[in-house]
């Protein structure tokens, strides 16, 4: 090839390469134009999907997060899960005091000889039950040298005897007789609870050594206690059982506030899950029962029951005894899902 033709050849090659580059760039732009609508459509569909999900009612979203446990009735019975029914009732708030049973001063008679003299005979002793007018002893008067009877002035039990045959009587107490079927509960009332306790309030008394023995009365007096940092609430007890006696230490539950409530539940049914207080409501399902943890709002409470102001209505069935088994099952399931 002649040297003079070389520049022409190089010029032709450059034109061909320039044309090829233009064609390549055009092809890329065309391909992008075709793909772009599909990509935008995908983004739009993705956003629409999220919008549709957000349209689900809040209640459905909430229900999905209520822990539930389904148990066959035979299994629940074997595990001792027992149901109760929410109902109307009253909340009785109480204060607990402690004290001792005592005979009142009007219930003890100290028997002395009417005239000084010689005790000729003694017929009864400590522990004997007497009626008013029963013969206790015979005494010979120093003045008349005649025997005269020493009689029981009241019904009761002889709790002290200081008389024996052959002894001389002066002004000493020979017998003490107490009416033990009528006692007083003397309860220690410290300042922290004094503002809640008043005369006329209902009191339930139980012996500390025999809690099954129970008697109900009302506070009759509140008096200062000498040389003690408390007051004494005095409660009369009539016709007490033999298991209640003078000197017995007792516990007393005093009703300080009683309010009616439309819905009350047993406090044993209450549990806390994820910071929420609730109960396991029960819904029969064939041979099984569905227990759903239902959040409740509580009102007044006493030692055994709580009023419910929101969450359930009267008539709702719920688990009480051994309901902690249901809570344990829920917590176990939550832990497994967390892993």
CA dist list (Å): 159 to 70, 103, 112, 228: 65, 11, 14, 27
Q: Report the distance separating Cα 107 and Cα 103, nearest Å.
A: 6
Mean pLDDT across 30-53:
42
Domain ranges for the chain, please list them.
Answer: 3-52, 65-89+260-338, 94-104+181-259, 108-178
Mean pLDDT across 301-322:
96
Please tell me the least confidently modeled range out of 29-38, 55-64, 227-236: 55-64
Match 């402690």 to its residue by tokens.
Answer: 98
Binned at pLDDT 50, 70 and 90, residue 191 comes out as very high
Evaluate if residue 323 carries a pLDDT over 60: yes
Mean pLDDT across 127-154:
95
User: Considering the chain, what is the average pLDDT of its residues?
Assistant: 84
Q: How many percent of the chain have pLDDT more than 90?
A: 66
Architecture of domain 65-89+260-338: Beta Barrel (2.40)
Mean pLDDT across 268-286:
96
Query: Using one digit for the tens of pLDDT, what is the confidence trace for 61-119?
Result: 344 578 999 999 999 999 999 999 999 999 999 999 999 999 888 889 999 999 999 99
Mean pLDDT across 196-203:
94
The class of domain 94-104+181-259 in CATH terms is mainly beta
68, β-bridge pairs: 292
pTM: 0.58
Burial 41-65 (b: 16+ CB within 10 A, else e): eeeeeeeeeeeeeeeeeeeeeeeee
| Higher pLDDT, residue 245 or 4 | 245
Query: Using one digit for the tens of pLDDT, what is the confidence trace for 282-295?
Result: 999 999 999 999 99
Closest by CA to 259, choosing from 299, 219, 205, is 299
The CATH code of domain 108-178 reads 2.40.50.100
Evaluate if residue 322 carries a pLDDT over 70: yes
Q: Report the distance separating Cα 309 and Cα 263, nearest Å.
A: 7
Evaluate if residue 228 carries a pLDDT over 70: yes
Q: Would you say 89 and 236 are in contact if contact means Cβ atoms under 8 Å apart?
A: no
């Amino acid at each position: 090839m002649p040297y003079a033709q070389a520049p022409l050849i190089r010029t032709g090659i450059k034109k061909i390469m320039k044309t090829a580059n233009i064609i390549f760039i055009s092809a890329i732009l065309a391909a992008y134009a075709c793909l772009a609508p599909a990509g935008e459509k995908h983004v739009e569909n993705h956003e629409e999907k999220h919008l549709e999900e957000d349209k689900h009612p809040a209640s459905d979203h909430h229900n999905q997060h209520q822990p539930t446990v389904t148990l066959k009735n035979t299994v629940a019975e074997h595990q001792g899960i027992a149901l109760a029914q929410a109902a109307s009732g009253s909340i009785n708030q109480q204060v607990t005091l402690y004290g001792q049973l005592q005979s009142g001063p009007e219930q003890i008679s100290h028997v002395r000889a009417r005239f000084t003299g010689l005790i000729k005979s003694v017929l009864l002793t400590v522990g004997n039950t007497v009626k008013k007018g029963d013969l206790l002893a015979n005494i010979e008067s120093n003045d008349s040298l005649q025997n005269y009877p020493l009689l029981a002035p009241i019904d009761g039990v002889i709790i002290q005897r200081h008389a024996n045959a052959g002894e001389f009587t002066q002004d000493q107490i020979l017998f003490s007789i107490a009416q033990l079927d009528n006692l007083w509960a003397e309860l220690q009332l410290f300042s922290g609870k004094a503002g809640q306790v008043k005369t006329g309030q209902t009191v339930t008394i139980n012996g500390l050594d025999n809690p099954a023995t129970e008697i109900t009365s009302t506070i009759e007096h509140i008096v200062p206690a000498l040389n003690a940092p408390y007051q004494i609430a005095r409660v009369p007890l009539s016709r007490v059982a033999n298991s209640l006696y003078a000197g017995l230490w007792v516990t007393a539950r005093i009703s300080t506030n009683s309010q009616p409530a439309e819905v009350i539940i047993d406090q044993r049914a209450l549990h806390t899950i994820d910071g929420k207080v609730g109960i396991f409501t029960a819904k029969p399902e064939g041979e099984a029962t569905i227990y759903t943890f239902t959040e409740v709002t509580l009102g007044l409470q006493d030692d055994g029951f709580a009023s419910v102001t929101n969450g359930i209505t009267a008539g709702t069935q719920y688990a009480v005894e051994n309901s902690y088994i249901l809570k344990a099952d829920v917590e176990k399931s939550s832990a497994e899902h967390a892993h």
